[in-house]
Amino acid sequence: MSKILVTGASGNLGQAIIRHLLETYHAPASDIVAASRDASKLSALGAKGVELRNADFDDAASLDAVFAGIDTALIISTDALAVPGQRLTQHKSAVAAAAKAGVKHLAYTSMPNPDKSLVTFAPDHLGTEQAIKASGLPYTIIRNAWYNENYLHGMSHNLKAGQWFTAMADGKVSNISRDDCARAAAAVLAKGKAENKTYTLTGPQSLNADEIAALVSAVAGKPLRVVKVSPADLQKGIEGAGLPGFVAEMLASADANIAAGNFDIVTSDYETLTGEKPQTSEAFFTTHKAALLSA
């Protein structure tokens, strides 16, 4: 028996990873430990025989108990972006606890090329990767490209208005579906073996804004004009629409990173890990047509 811990288990990615562990890779429920800030949210997993633990990376002292007896651990990066520095501190606390517990394999969900990125939160990922490597623990870094799901937040409003403001310029991005990231992470955990490797999970194609807009427009059956603006103007526009400043800055920085070509990466790492091809953005948008038309 080998115990697999997944932190952040009530998040979208965490839930999908545990589903893939159970259903795709047939891991015994009794081998899985699901941890969340509020483990009571995981009662459905508990009913299946998954062990539940409370884990809040802001409470460093409590984390020894979270990693105790664990062979393979996945630290899912948190969404604590509002306070600069908080997320890296959280992740470092989790890495320290994993090292203290002597886990045999530590995996982490990162982002593509955090060492060469304009995205505001890239230093969190780079710092966590460095902390993992410095811990001396056997590791797997799983760098997830931009989710296709990210477009579902705004595209229905863009379609309603008939225009999409973007600061991607002519840059390309290789979006991947979150469920594919989850399946690949589950494959890493199910295999158990740490090879001190970094995988970059991307979709099958890199697309520019006009190509993404054409796919969305074709699926939705509505026109969508791409309006190319500067990152500074995009940030102002997003803030003007009422989103918090740090979100506006993060989204504008992500577009700037695409414009700079830093997200224009297509790898075969998803296929290496799962033996499958990743979902195309076209297939993703087709599956989520109702969400595109929801505004």
Ligand X SMILES: NC(=O)c1ccc[n+]([C@@H]2O[C@H](COP(=O)([O-])OP(=O)(O)OC[C@H]3O[C@@H](n4cnc5c(N)ncnc54)[C@H](OP(=O)(O)O)[C@@H]3O)[C@@H](O)[C@H]2O)c1
Residue from 4, 13, 168, 251 that binds ligand X (CB under 6 A)?
13
Number of residues engaging ligand X in binding (CB under 6 A)? 26
- What track of x and - describes contact with ligand X for positions 223 through 262 (by CB under 6 A)? ----------------------------------------
**Residues 109, 73: Cα–Cα separation, whole Å:** 11
| Closer to ligand X by Cβ: residue 94 or 159 | 94
Find where tokens 């664990």 sit: 70
List the one residue from 67, 108, 139, 146 that touches ligand X (CB under 6 A): 146
The one segment of 71-79, 152-160, 205-213, 221-229 that binds ligand X by CB under 6 A: 71-79
> DSSP code of 1?
-
Q: In angstroms, how far is the first alpha carbon of the chain from the final one?
A: 48
Q: Which DSSP state fits 119?
A: -
Residue 36 binding ligand X, by CB under 6 A = yes
Among 3, 4, 5, 7, binds ligand X (CB under 6 A): 7
**Identity of the residue, 78 or 262, whose beta carbon is nearer to ligand X in the bound complex:** 78
Contacting range for ligand X; rule: CB under 6 A; set: 12-20, 25-33, 154-162, 212-220: 12-20
Nearest residue (CB) to ligand X, 150 versus 198:
150
Instruction: Report yes or no: 199 and 184 within 8 Å, Cβ to Cβ.
Output: yes
54 touches ligand X by CB under 6 A: no
- Residue whose CB is less far from ligand X, 154 or 222: 154
Residue nearer to ligand X on the CB measure, 38 or 276: 38
Q: Is 12 in the site for ligand X (CB under 6 A)?
A: yes
> Cβ of residue 111: shortest distance to ligand X, in angstroms?
6
Instruction: Give residues with Cβ within 8 angstroms of 65, minimum separation 6.
Output: 53
Q: Is 77 in the site for ligand X (CB under 6 A)?
A: yes
Q: Which is nearer to ligand X, 9 or 184 (CB)?
A: 9
Q: Are 128 and 94 in contact (CB under 8 A)?
A: no
Shorter beta-carbon distance to ligand X: residue 38 or 170: 38
Binding test (CB under 6 A) with ligand X, winner from 109, 128, 177, 206: 109
Token pair for residue 125?
Answer: 């990922």
Binding site for ligand X (CB under 6 A): 7-14, 36-37, 55-58, 76-80, 90, 109, 144, 146-147, 150, 178
